[in-house]
Every structure is written in structure tokens, then in C-alpha cells.
């Protein structure tokens, strides 16, 4: 804590991961002897930089850019960029630390990193977003590369932003280095299913949990928070598998649509009109309510998929969900449930999938995008989705088996933390004290 003052979210995630590692260190003292855990908590490199840009009114604006290159024992640093006014070093480090274990769990050759800026894209014109992205990349390009560090999207960074970032990288380096960023458009080096992957993957993961209980999505009521990239495709996949998503949200409130959220309409409102869920309720007409403020966790459901942001589901939300009959929770977002909420789920016997396992489908498909870029190939949607589903099944099984092996059967948090840790720690030991 003293080494990293004021970085609350980073402390929270480190505590959560280290809290699971007691049984591993007891069995393998070599991890403690070589200070593997201490080294893991210290990023290999962090870059903080000035991002000046000119708005549509000709005024100079200033933001701060970050890239935290946390651990490259398994491969080039890999992790998204977040553009949101609340971004600061503690958020980037929390996300980067989570990313190490998530990427390890996928079984793919990728290290962990994360970046972003306190830039708020909301209400900005396309031209302003482009100028910001160009300025951001003007510094970032010195620190990334296909074999070095491969950023992608996150909150506030979608295909539009990746396009502007890639365009500037190409201009500065004079190289069409497709593998330097993932989440690209299909016409310029992107992969099928990348856009859908995090949401689809979270739903696949929960499907494996349901199967283990002899259940399916058929007939289940589901609540998905958020209405961004992860939420939209989680909703789409739940519907394909026979469940009904009755509510979704943004930071202004939530909508309840008992007939099931109309995914095509939601996509149109969010991606084309860049509107709000309130606009969804207006467009859908009578019978669909928008609740301003309030908690989406008041909506009764069998399954909850928090897919908006960190610490959005607190103890009170968890207690309400349990009281209303929710039995499975899968984190589409990174660390959306607070430690108290997780405890409430645990006490009530609710199945809980942590983000580093449940939302790993996004980064796994990014690694598939890197494979396609490296071999100058592009796979079909069906083939790529099959690969994603296989990967999510493997992550599920790895978490379940590891939890069992280390004495916490059914505890996916312990399983994910331990399995991810062992893969990274073994690579670090093999590479020596670096
Ligand atoms: P987007 O920017 O596409 O969407 C974020 C959504 O969450 C928006 O609807 C936003 O609403 C909403 N939101 C943000 N803050 C709040 C809040 N306090 N209360 C309610 N809603 C809120 O981001 P993504 O969908 O890409 O990311 C969502 C989460 O998933 C993040 O935690 C991210 O780290 C994680 N994730 C994303 C991956 C990806 O591939 N995109 C991969 C793995 C994890 P508003 O417009 O009002 O801000």
C-alpha cells in the first residue's frame, strides 16, 4: 500500500488475487523464495504522457495518457485502452494486473498490460475524437508493436477509436503493422467475432456453469448492466441460447423490457445514433419503462451479468438479487462486484464467475486476430466463434479443476486466480530474475 498510495482499485484487485494464493504457496514455496509475487505486483514499465489536442472551437485541450506494461513473461503485453474521465493510474494498474491472470487463463502467448486516458469521448464530434486519438498515438507509438505491446479497446474505445489510432500509427511508422492493435474493422485487418467476443464469451462461460448444474438458459430471466460493447453482445447471445434479457442500463438509469431487449434496436441507438437507453425506451414505446437513477439490481432475475464498470454491484445490490431468486452471476465487466457483494453471493450459494475468467473471450479473440494477422489469413465467423466457445469451455474447466485441486470446489474465483497465477509464475521462474 505504501509503494502505491491512493490507488484504491489496484489495492482491491491485488488483495483479491493474493487472498487466493495461500494454498499454492504452501504447496510450492519456490514462488515465495524468488519473490515472484512481489515482482508480479510491480509493473515492468509504466508510461504517463501529455495528450494535447485542439477542439472544434479551436481551443487547446489537455488530457493525460497512460500505458502500464505489467508483465510480459508469457508474451507481448496485451490489454485494452480506456477513455473515460475517471481514468487515473490506479484504474489502469488494476486493469493491467487483472489482465495478467486473465491472459494467462486463455492459454495463449500474451502478457498483461492496460492503458487509456482521462479523455471523455461523450458529446465530442468525430473530428475531435480523431484529433485526440492522433495525439494519443503520437506518443504511444514509441512504446508498442506487434512483438512488444498490443493494445485494444475497452470503455470508450471501440472500432471508431481503434481506426483513428491505427491510422496514426501507420502514418508515424510507415508500416502496415496489422498486429499492433486488435479490435480493427474487418476491411483493415480485423477478425470476425472480435466485436462480439467479450459478451458472447461471458454467456458461454455461464452456460458451462449452468451445464455443470444440469441447467440451460432456456426460460431464464437475465439482467445485463451496461449497454456498451460487452452488454450488447451478451444480450444477443443469451437470446440465441433461449434466455430473455429483461433489463440493461447506462450511467443515467436502466430500462425494463419484459418482452426481451430488442438487440438490433439497441445496437442502432448505441452504435449509429450514439444515444442512451432512455432513447431505447422512447423508441420501443409503451410497456417499456426507463428508470432514471435507481439500481438495475432491483429487477428480479435468475442470472445477472454485470457488464458496465468496476464496483457497480455492491452488497445492497447483491442482497436484493439473492432475495429475488438470482442464482448465477457472471462478470462481463472487470471487477463489477465489490468484495462485500461477492461475500453475499458466497453466503447464499450463488454461482459466481469472476471477470478475469468470464470476460476473457475478448482478449482470447484478440489473440486469434493476432494469429490471423501474422499468417495474413482471415477466418469465417463460424470457425472463429467455434474457437471462442472452445476457449471459454477450456477456461471454465481449468478454473473448476484448479479450485477442486486446491481445496475450494465450486469456487471459480480461487480457481481463476490460482490457475492464472501458476502459468505466469512458472514462466517467470523459467526466465530468471528479471
Ligand atoms: P463501453 O464503453 O462499450 O460500454 C460501457 C457501458 O457501461 C456503457 O453503457 C456505460 O454507460 C456503462 N456504464 C459505465 N459506467 C456506468 C455506471 N457507473 N453505471 C451504469 N452504467 C455504466 O465499454 P465495454 O462494454 O467495452 O466495457 C464494459 C466493461 O467490460 C468494462 O469493465 C471493461 O473493462 C470490460 N471488458 C471489456 C472488454 C471488451 O472487449 N470491450 C474485454 C474485457 C472486459 P455510459 O454511456 O452512461 O457511460
**351 backbone dihedrals φ, ψ, rounded to 5°:** -65, 130
Q: Quick one: cell of 248?
A: 440493461
Distance in Å, CA 408 to ligand 1 centroid:
31
Distance in Å, CA 396 to ligand 1 centroid:
23
pLDDT of 402-421, one tens digit each? 999 999 999 999 999 999 99
Count of alpha carbons within 13 Å of 236, Cβ hemisphere only? 20
78 labeled part of a ligand binding site: yes
What is the architecture of the domain spanning 42-179? 3-Layer(aba) Sandwich (3.40)
Cβ–Cβ < 8 Å for 191, 368: yes
As a whole number of angstroms, the distance between CA 64 and CA 297 comes to 34
pLDDT of 4-53, one tens digit each? 999 999 999 999 999 999 999 999 988 887 789 999 999 999 999 999 99
Out of 33-47, 196-210, 351-365, which region has the weakest mean confidence (pLDDT)?
33-47
Cα–Cα distances (Å) from 366 to 93, 152, 242, 296, in that order, read 20, 8, 27, 30
| The pTM of the whole model exceeds 0.90 | yes
Residue 263: band (very low, low, confident or very high) from pLDDT cuts 50, 70, 90: very high
**Domain residue spans in the chain?**
42-179, 196-349
Q: Quick one: cell of 251?
A: 450511467
Q: Which residues pair with 112 in a beta bridge?
A: 71
Q: What is the pLDDT of residue 90?
A: 98
Whose C-alpha lies nearest to ligand 1, atom 4? Answer: 228
Among candidate residues 9, 160, 161, the one with its CA nearest the CA of residue 96: 9
Distance in Å, CA 112 to ligand 1 centroid:
20
Whose C-alpha lies nearest to ligand 1, atom 32? Answer: 333
Residue 1: band (very low, low, confident or very high) from pLDDT cuts 50, 70, 90: confident
99 labeled part of a ligand binding site: yes
The catalytically annotated residue of 93, 114, 220, 270 is 114
H or E element at residue 318: helix 315-323
Strands 328-330, 112-117: pairing is: unpaired
pLDDT of 72-111, one tens digit each? 999 999 999 999 999 999 999 999 999 999 999 999 999 9
Residue 357: band (very low, low, confident or very high) from pLDDT cuts 50, 70, 90: very high
125 CB burial (10 A radius; 0-12, 13-18, 19+): exposed
Whose C-alpha lies nearest to ligand 1, atom 30? Answer: 333
Quick check: CB of 250 below 6 Å from ligand 1?
yes
366 labeled part of a ligand binding site: yes
Q: Quick one: cell of 385?
A: 466463434
Quick check: CB of 253 below 6 Å from ligand 1?
no
Quick check: CB of 229 below 6 Å from ligand 1?
yes
Q: What is the DSSP letter of 180?
A: G
Averaged pLDDT, 323-337: 98
Distance in Å, CA 189 to ligand 1 centroid:
24
Cβ–Cβ < 8 Å for 313, 355: no
As a whole number of angstroms, the distance between CA 252 and CA 82 comes to 20
Same fold, 42-179 and 196-349: yes
Averaged pLDDT, 221-227: 98
Q: Which CATH number fits domain 196-349: 3.20.20.80, 3.40.50.720, 3.40.50.2020, 3.30.460.30?
A: 3.40.50.720
Whose C-alpha lies nearest to ligand 1, atom 37? Answer: 154
114 is catalytic: yes
Residue 434: band (very low, low, confident or very high) from pLDDT cuts 50, 70, 90: confident
Out of 61-65, 216-220, 252-256, 282-286, which region has the weakest mean confidence (pLDDT)?
282-286
DSSP SS3 for 173: helix
Amino acid at each position: 500500500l505504501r509503494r502505491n498510495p491512493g490507488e484504491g482499485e489496484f489495492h482491491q484487485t491485488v488483495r483479491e488475487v493474493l487472498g487466493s494464493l495461500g494454498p499454492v504457496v504452501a504447496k510450492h514455496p519456490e514462488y515465495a523464495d524468488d519473490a515472484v509475487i512481489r515482482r508480479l505486483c510491480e509493473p515492468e514499465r509504466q508510461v504517463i504522457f501529455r495528450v494535447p489536442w485542439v477542439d472544434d472551437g479551436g481551443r487547446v485541450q489537455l488530457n493525460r495518457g497512460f500505458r502500464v506494461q505489467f508483465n510480459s513473461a508469457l508474451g507481448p503485453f496485451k490489454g485494452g485502452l480506456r477513455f473515460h474521465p475517471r481514468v487515473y493510474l490506479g484504474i489502469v494498474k488494476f486493469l493491467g494486473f487483472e489482465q495478467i491472470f486473465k491472459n494467462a487463463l486463455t492459454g495463449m502467448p500474451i502478457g498483461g498490460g492496460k492503458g487509456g486516458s482521462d479523455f471523455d469521448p461523450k458529446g465530442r464530434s468525430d473530428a475531435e475524437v480523431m484529433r485526440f486519438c492522433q495525439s494519443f498515438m503520437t506518443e504511444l507509438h514509441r512504446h508498442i508493436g506487434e512483438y512488444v505491446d498490443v493494445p485494444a479497446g475497452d470503455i470508450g474505445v471501440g472500432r471508431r477509436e481503434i481506426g483513428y489510432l491505427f491510422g496514426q500509427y501507420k502514418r508515424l511508422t510507415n508500416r502496415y503493422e496489422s498486429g499492433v492493435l486488435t479490435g480493427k474493422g474487418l476491411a483493415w485487418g480485423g477478425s470476425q467475432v472480435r466485436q462480439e467476443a467479450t459478451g458472447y464469451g461471458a454467456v458461454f462461460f455461464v452456460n458451462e456453469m449452468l451445464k455443470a448444474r444440469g441447467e440451460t438458459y432456456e426460460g431464464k430471466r437475465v439482467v445485463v448492466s451496461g449497454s456498451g460493447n460487452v452488454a450488447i453482445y451478451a444480450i444477443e447471445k443469451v437470446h440465441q441460447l433461449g434466455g430473455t434479457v429483461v433489463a440493461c442500463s447506462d450511467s443515467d438509469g436502466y430500462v425494463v423490457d419484459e418482452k426481451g431487449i430488442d438487440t438490433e434496436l439497441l445496437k442502432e441507438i448505441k452504435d449509429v445514433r450514439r444515444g442512451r437507453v432512455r432513447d431505447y425506451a422512447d423508441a420501443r414505446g409503451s410497456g417499456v419503462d426507463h428508470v432514471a437513477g435507481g439500481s438495475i439490481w432491483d429487477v428480479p432475475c435468475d442470472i445477472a451479468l454485470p457488464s458496465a464498470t468496476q464496483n457497480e454491484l455492491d452488497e445492497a445490490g447483491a442482497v436484493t438479487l439473492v432475495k429475488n431468486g438470482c442464482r448465477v452471476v457472471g462478470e462481463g465487466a472487470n471487477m463489477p462486484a465489490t468484495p462485500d457483494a461477492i461475500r453475499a453471493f458466497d453466503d447464499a450459494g450463488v454461482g459466481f464467475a469472476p471477470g478475469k475468467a468470464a470476460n476473457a473471450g475478448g482478449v482470447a479473440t484478440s489473440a486469434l486476430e493476432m494469429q490471423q494477422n501474422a499468417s495474413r489469413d482471415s477466418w469465417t465467423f463460424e470457425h472463429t466463434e467455434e474457437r471462442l466457445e472452445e476457449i471459454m469451455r477450456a477456461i471454465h474447466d481449468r478454473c473448476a479443476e484448479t479450485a477442486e485441486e486446491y481445496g475450494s470446489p465450486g469456487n471459480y474465483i480461487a480457481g481463476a486466480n490460482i490457475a492464472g497465477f501458476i502459468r505466469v509464475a512458472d514462466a517467470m521462474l523459467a526466465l530468471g530474475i528479471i
